[in-house]
Each structure stands twice: as C-alpha cells, then as structure tokens.
Amino acid sequence: MEIKDIQPQLYKQFSTILQHGKLSHAYLFSGGFGSFELAIWLSQALFCENPENALPCGHCRSCRLVAQQEFTDLHIVEPDGQTIKTAQIRELTQVFNESGYEGNQQVLLIKEAEKMHPNAANALLKSIEEPETEIVVFLLTDNENMILQTIKSRTQIINFPKNVQYLQDFLEKNGILKTQAELLAEICNSTDKALELAQQSWFNEGLQRLQQFVKLLKTSADEAFLYLKELVEIFDDKEKQNQAFELLLQLFNQERMSQELLKTFQAIKMWKSNVRFESSLTFLVL
C-alpha cells in the first residue's frame, strides 16, 4: 500500500512541503486512515540516502529500515496496555538531548496518542516546544478530542478523511465479497482492521445474524424480539457489541429504515451509559 494511493491529496500536499523544505517539527495526524503510512513515508524522506526531488527513493538502506520500523533514529511509541506511560516518554526525551546515531535528525512517532497519560503528554511538551536537537514528532490519533489542548496548540493538525472506495477495492482484491467489503469499508478506519475482522469467524457469523435480525424487524417485531438472544450470544464483549451497532447503522441505512436508524443512535447512547446490550437492542424492537 502506497500513501499516494491511500491519501492522494495529502501525498501531493506533503510532497510540496518536502520540496520546499517546509516540514514542521510537530504534527497531529487526526483520523487513522493512512496516517501511519504517511508518517513512515515522511520519515523515509528525512533519512533517505538518495532522495529524488526531496522525496524518498524507497530503496536505500535507510528507506528500507524505516519501512521495517527498524531504523535507529526512528522511535515509535504505542500504548503499554491501555495507556502510554510517563516513563515511556521520559525515556525518549533523554534520548533527544543527544544527536541521532545516524546523523543529527531524529523522528518520534506516537501511535494512539490519545492514550498518553496526562503526565506523559506534559513530559512531551518540552521536546515539542524547545527541541534541543533536530527532531520531528508525529502524533497519530483516531480521537482528536481526547488530545490535551496544550499538545494540540503546539502541533500542526492534519485531518485524514477515510477513502472508502480505496478500502472497499482493497478488500475485494483480497478476496472479500463485495457486500461484506462495502460494510467493512464503512465501519473500519484501516485496511489492517478491516482484514482482521473479515478473517474472524465470529464477525462473519455475527454479520449473518444481524442481517437476519434486520429482515425480521421488517416483517415481525415478535420474531425479532425472540431473535435477540442469537445476537447477545455472539456479540459477547464491548468491542464486539460496538461493531454490532456500527453494522446495524449501515444495514438500516442500506435498507432505508430511517426510524430504526434513529432508534439505533438512541440505543447506542443507552449502551454507552451502561445499559445492557440486550436491553439496548430491545429498545430497537419495541
């Protein structure tokens, strides 16, 4: 997957930025579709041994190591469990007081940046505000609203719209049925997540049951109510239940069931307020 195919407009925008030498020292990439790929591509540009019009060649030793996430001066941080801990950031800020191993340039790439502990975010601020060495920071998030305002105000925020058609085409090329690819393209923010779901037996079984549930809602509320146990059985944890609601929204939209679509939004609010999954689904039937 190449960034110019995933996010063609952002590829063009950042190509121009690189060619004019105007890359900022800190970015917040908001929206997961292609953000990691762009950050890696920009890192390649910074470390490339044989740049072509300021763009990475993609073939030199540095470009290959960056693509493999094994380049010494590329530091990638992701959550340790549910959070990015303060110690993870402080350890790196000490590294940034020194020049890189390969040269002066270093890159810090933080995945799921919204999961930074507030103390970790504050520890990062100094490196962003007063970098003592040549460092570029990429913060990646699917939830910009959970990023501290002090961090946001010190970064350039770039939004990553989802390229639904690209994702659907990618899934179909990887053997996913068209109808399933359409749904996955709507509910997933990355090719990796979409493929992962498509390969899960529970997901495929769950999708079939949701499609049956939607059919029953159109013909018999009583039968739909009795069928709820089939859904509760397979969507048995929070993550799966979230996927169920996302799929229901798409299925109701496809069937132009506007009343059920609106009720699903209300059911999601109930579920997020700790109403049981089964009770939230019951609201759709009543």
- Residue 155 in this model has a pLDDT that exceeds 90: yes
Question: What would the pLDDT profile of 2-33 be if each residue is shown by its tens digit?
Answer: 888 889 999 999 999 999 999 998 999 998 78
Domains and CATH numbers, the chain: 3-161 (3.40.50.300), 200-285 (no CATH)
Q: How far apart are alpha carbons 284 and 286 in whole angstroms?
A: 6
Q: How far apart are alpha carbons 269 and 260 in whole angstroms?
A: 14
Question: What would the pLDDT profile of 52-109 be if each residue is shown by its tens digit?
Answer: 999 999 999 999 999 999 999 999 999 988 899 999 988 887 777 776 778 788 999 9
Residue 157's SS3 state is strand
Residue 76's SS3 state is strand
Give the global pTM: 0.75
Q: What is the mean pLDDT of residues 215-227?
A: 93
